[in-house]
Each structure stands twice: as C-alpha cells, then as structure tokens.
Amino acid sequence: MSRSAIISTIISLIPNQKDGCTLIGIDGRDGAGKTCFADELAHQCSQELPRDVIRISMDDFHHPKSIRYRRGKTSPEGFWLDSYDYDRFFADVVTPLSRGGSQRYRMRSHDILSDTILDEEPVHEAAPASIVIVDGIFLHRPELADVWHMSIFLDVSAEVCADRMLTRDGVMTALEPSARYYGGQDIYFRTCQPHAKATVLIDNSVLDSPVLKARQN
C-alpha cells in the first residue's frame, strides 16, 4: 500500500468529537519519521476533510536545560522524566482544546535553540471540530495516554532509527548521547508499552512503503 493510501486509511478512522477538537498523537522512537508523517497526515486531512487542522509538536514543549539535565547529561532517567513540560502542554493545548475548553491555545512554550521559556506566545483560536495532530516521543506515558482520541505508533527498529539520525543530524549528534536518549526510550517502551496502547500501529521502516500492522476497533 502506498504512503498516501495508508494516510487515507488513517483519515477514515479519525473520530469526530461532538464537543471540542479531535486530538491525534503520532508516537515512535527518535528517527521513526513522526514529524514527516504528522505533516503529511495534516496536509492530506486538509484536502480530504472539511475540518481545520492544527499541527503541534512536543518538541516545542521542552523543559529548559536546567531541568532537562538536572540528573546529568547522560542520564536515561533524566531524558525520560525531565525532557518535557507536560503542565504547560496541558495548559496551552490539551485543556483549551478539549471538551468544554476555551478553544484558545498556544502552539509552543519553549524555544530550544535559545533555551527560552515563552510566556508571551500568541494565542490562537481553534475552529469548532478542528483536528489537532501532535507528534513526539513518550505520547503514551501515563500523563498523556488518555488525552488522545486517536493515536498512531510508528514502529521502527532502533537500528534503522539510528541510521536515519546519522543521516539527518550528523555522526556526533547521533552517537554521543546514545546512552541517554536510547536508554530513556527503552524505559518508556518497557514501562508503557506504546505498541499495545496505540489506536493504530504502522511499520514505518521503509518510508515509501509503510505497512499497517494493527489497529484497535
């Protein structure tokens, strides 16, 4: 099945919430292709459905370095526990866009390049019944597992993800923090079992030919 056909199948499964927006999470390892898949899903949704689409990335909700690295720069536990500001993600995205929410949301809380907390980000207003597509790692952790009206896990081996990150980010960027990043993600897979929790499981090992492996009814 082509990539476009897989995405059309995903779109056919998107629920329509009576009140509030529909939140969709795109989960997977670093290098699994989450951002590209989420961007393509958003683009195709805007073409196939008469609904507004909002794109959010968890990478725009990092904690500052002082919190991210407080357990040490090589700590897997630190990566797992301290990377993201879930309080801000709920305050800026989940709560306002959920049933009964204000529909007034912010798209990010932190600029990772300058390590700046963004307290004055513009407020946007979501149209009724908007589709909100969020990409990121750790999206099936306990704080987030019940947030999603639909979730997708991109299943790609650690080896394939490492090769992609080498190509994308460069050798040193990909290899130096492997104990922290891969170890933290291993904690996530072991404790949260995202493969089993996701609404849809897709093998994204071959980018041009993803495979729909499983879906929950």
Dihedral, CA of residue 84, residue 86, residue 92 and residue 93, to nearest 10? 100
b (16+ CB within 10 A) / e for 161-179? bbebbeeeeeeeebeeeee
Mean pLDDT, residues 41-53 taken together: 97
Predicted local distance difference test score (pLDDT) of residue 47: 96
Burial of 139 (0-12, 13-18, 19+ CB in 10 A): buried
Please determine, for residue 116, whether its predicted confidence score (pLDDT) is greater than 80.
yes
Please determine, for residue 6, whether its predicted confidence score (pLDDT) is greater than 70.
yes
Predicted local distance difference test score (pLDDT) of residue 55: 99
User: What are residue 84's DSSP bridge partners?
Assistant: 62
Helix (H) or strand (E) holding 172: helix 171-175
Please determine, for residue 16, whether its predicted confidence score (pLDDT) is greater than 60.
yes
What residue ranges define each of the domains in the chain, with the CATH number in brackets? 3-200 (3.40.50.300)
Task: List Cα–Cα distances, 73 to 64, 131, 159, 166, 194, in angstroms.
Answer: 13, 36, 22, 20, 25
Q: How confident is the model at residue 139 (pLDDT cuts 50, 70, 90)?
A: very high
Cβ atoms within 10 Å, residue 86: 17
Tokens 């994204």, residue located = 204
Mean pLDDT, residues 197-208 taken together: 94
Tokens 């969709």, residue located = 24
The amino acid at residue 5 is A
Per-residue pLDDT reduced to its tens digit, 154-189: 999 888 887 777 766 554 444 445 789 889 999 999
Predicted local distance difference test score (pLDDT) of residue 175: 44
Q: pLDDT exceeding 90 applies to what percent of the chain?
A: 78
Per-residue pLDDT reduced to its tens digit, 80-107: 999 999 999 999 999 999 999 999 999 9
Predicted local distance difference test score (pLDDT) of residue 111: 96
Q: What does the radius of gyration of the chain's CA atoms come to, in whole angstroms?
A: 17
**3-class state of residue 170 by DSSP:** coil
Predicted local distance difference test score (pLDDT) of residue 174: 44
Please determine, for residue 41, whether its predicted confidence score (pLDDT) is greater than 50.
yes
User: What are residue 97's DSSP bridge partners?
Assistant: none
Q: How confident is the model at residue 210 (pLDDT cuts 50, 70, 90)?
A: very high
Q: How confident is the model at residue 217 (pLDDT cuts 50, 70, 90)?
A: low
Token pair for 47: 């073409």
CA atoms within 13 A on the CB side of 171: 0
Task: List Cα–Cα distances, 8 to 40, 54, 149, in angstroms.
Answer: 10, 18, 17
Cβ distance 29 to 158 under 8 Å? yes
Predicted local distance difference test score (pLDDT) of residue 90: 98
Predicted local distance difference test score (pLDDT) of residue 12: 96
Mean per-residue pLDDT of the chain: 92
Mean pLDDT, residues 135-148 taken together: 97
